[in-house]
A and B are shown apart, each in its own frame.
Chain A
Amino acid sequence: MNEMPAIWVRNLVYQVEGKTILKGVSLRVEQGEVVGIMGASGSGKTTLLRCISGLIRPTSGEVWIEGSDIAHLPEHEKMKVRLRLGIVFQYSALFDFLTVYENVAFGLERHRRLLRKEIDRIVSERLAWVGLDGTQKLYPSQLSGGMRKRVGLARALAIDPHIVLFDEPTSGLDPVNAYQIDQLITRLNRELGLTAVVVSHDVVSLMRTTDKIAMMEAGEIIAEGTPEAIRQSEHPKVQAFLKMASSEHLE
Chain B
Amino acid sequence: MREELVWQEEAVSERLNALHHTLGFIGALWVLLIASLRGLLSGRIELKETLHQMAFIGATSVPIVALTSAFTGAVVTLYSASLLVDVGGGSFVGGAISLAMARELAPILTGIMVTARCGSAIAAQLGTMKITEQIDALRALAVSPVQYLVVPRLLAGLVMFPILGTVANFAGVMGGWVVASAFGITLNTFLRSIQLLTEPFDFVGGLIKTLVFALIVVLVSCQQGLGSRGGAVGVGHATTRAVVLSMVLIFVANYFLAEALFAER
A residues with a Cβ closer than 8 A to B are 14-18, 50, 53, 55-59, 74-76, 78-80, 82-83, 85-87, 89, 91, 93-96, 106-107, 110-111, 155-156, 159
Query: Residue B14 at the A interface, CB < 8 A?
Result: yes
Query: Residue B61 at the A interface, CB < 8 A?
Result: no
The 4 A-B residue pairs with the shortest CB-CB distance in the complex, in nearest-first order: A93-B133, A93-B137, A87-B140, A79-B142
Q: Are A95 and B134 in contact (CB under 8 A)?
A: yes
Q: Are A14 and B139 in contact (CB under 8 A)?
A: no
A22–B41 alpha-carbon span in the complex (Å): 40
Question: Please, which residues of chain B bring their CB within 8 A of the CB of A94?
Answer: 134, 137
CB of A145, distance to nearest CB on chain B (Å): 13
Q: A16-B12, A18-B13, A57-B4 are in contact. Are A93 and B134 (CB under 8 A)?
A: yes
5 contacting pairs across A/B (C-beta < 8 A): A50-B136, A56-B10, A94-B137, A96-B132, A111-B142
Query: Residue B9 at the A interface, CB < 8 A?
Result: yes
Question: Please, which residues of chain A bring their CB within 8 A of the CB of B9?
Answer: 55-57
Contact for B133 among A14, A85, A91, A110, CB less than 8 A: A91
Q: Are A96 and B11 in contact (CB under 8 A)?
A: no
Query: Residue B55 at the A interface, CB < 8 A?
Result: no
Question: Please, which residues of chain B bring their CB within 8 A of the CB of A87?
Answer: 137, 140
Interface residues in B1-59 by Cβ distance below 8 A to A read: 1-4, 9-14
Question: Please, which residues of chain B bring their CB within 8 A of the CB of A50?
Answer: 136
A82–B143 alpha-carbon span in the complex (Å): 10
A78–B138 alpha-carbon span in the complex (Å): 13
Q: Are A96 and B4 in contact (CB under 8 A)?
A: no
Q: Are A17 and B13 in contact (CB under 8 A)?
A: yes
Question: Please, which residues of chain A bring their CB within 8 A of the CB of B68?
Answer: none
CB of A249, distance to nearest CB on chain B (Å): 29
Question: Please, which residues of chain B bring their CB within 8 A of the CB of A106?
Answer: 141, 143
Q: A91-B133, A95-B137, A96-B132 are in contact. Are A57 and B142 (CB under 8 A)?
A: no
Q: A75-B4, A93-B132, A93-B133 are in contact. Are A15 and B140 (CB under 8 A)?
A: no
Query: Residue B144 at the A interface, CB < 8 A?
Result: yes
Interface size on B, residues (CB 8 A): 22
Name the residue of chain B whose CB is nearest to the CB of A158.
B141
Q: Are A155 and B141 in contact (CB under 8 A)?
A: yes
Q: Are A82 and B3 in contact (CB under 8 A)?
A: no
Q: A82-B139, A87-B140 are in contact. Are A57 and B132 (CB under 8 A)?
A: no
Q: Are A83 and B142 in contact (CB under 8 A)?
A: yes
Question: Please, which residues of chain B bring their CB within 8 A of the CB of A76?
Answer: 3, 144
CB of B20, distance to nearest CB on chain A (Å): 15
B residues with a Cβ closer than 8 A to A are 1-4, 9-14, 132-134, 136-144
CB of A8, distance to nearest CB on chain B (Å): 20
CB of B41, distance to nearest CB on chain A (Å): 15
Q: Are A107 and B137 in contact (CB under 8 A)?
A: no
CB of B236, distance to nearest CB on chain A (Å): 18
Q: Are A89 and B13 in contact (CB under 8 A)?
A: no
CB of B222, distance to nearest CB on chain A (Å): 16
Q: Are B2 and A74 in contact (CB under 8 A)?
A: yes
A17–B134 alpha-carbon span in the complex (Å): 23
Q: Are A82 and B140 in contact (CB under 8 A)?
A: yes
Q: Are A107 and B142 in contact (CB under 8 A)?
A: yes
Q: Are B11 and A82 in contact (CB under 8 A)?
A: no
Question: Please, which residues of chain A bring their CB within 8 A of the CB of B1?
Answer: 74
CB of B260, distance to nearest CB on chain A (Å): 35
Question: Please, which residues of chain B bring their CB within 8 A of the CB of A17?
Answer: 12-13
A111–B1 alpha-carbon span in the complex (Å): 23
Name the residue of chain A whose CB is nearest to the CB of B128.
A96
Q: Are A14 and B142 in contact (CB under 8 A)?
A: no
Question: Please, which residues of chain B bring their CB within 8 A of the CB of A107?
Answer: 141-143
A153–B138 alpha-carbon span in the complex (Å): 14
CB of B23, distance to nearest CB on chain A (Å): 19
Q: Are B134 and A159 in contact (CB under 8 A)?
A: no
Contact for B142 among A18, A58, A80, A155, CB less than 8 A: A80
A233–B132 alpha-carbon span in the complex (Å): 38
Q: A16-B13, A17-B12, A89-B136 are in contact. Are A159 and B4 (CB under 8 A)?
A: no
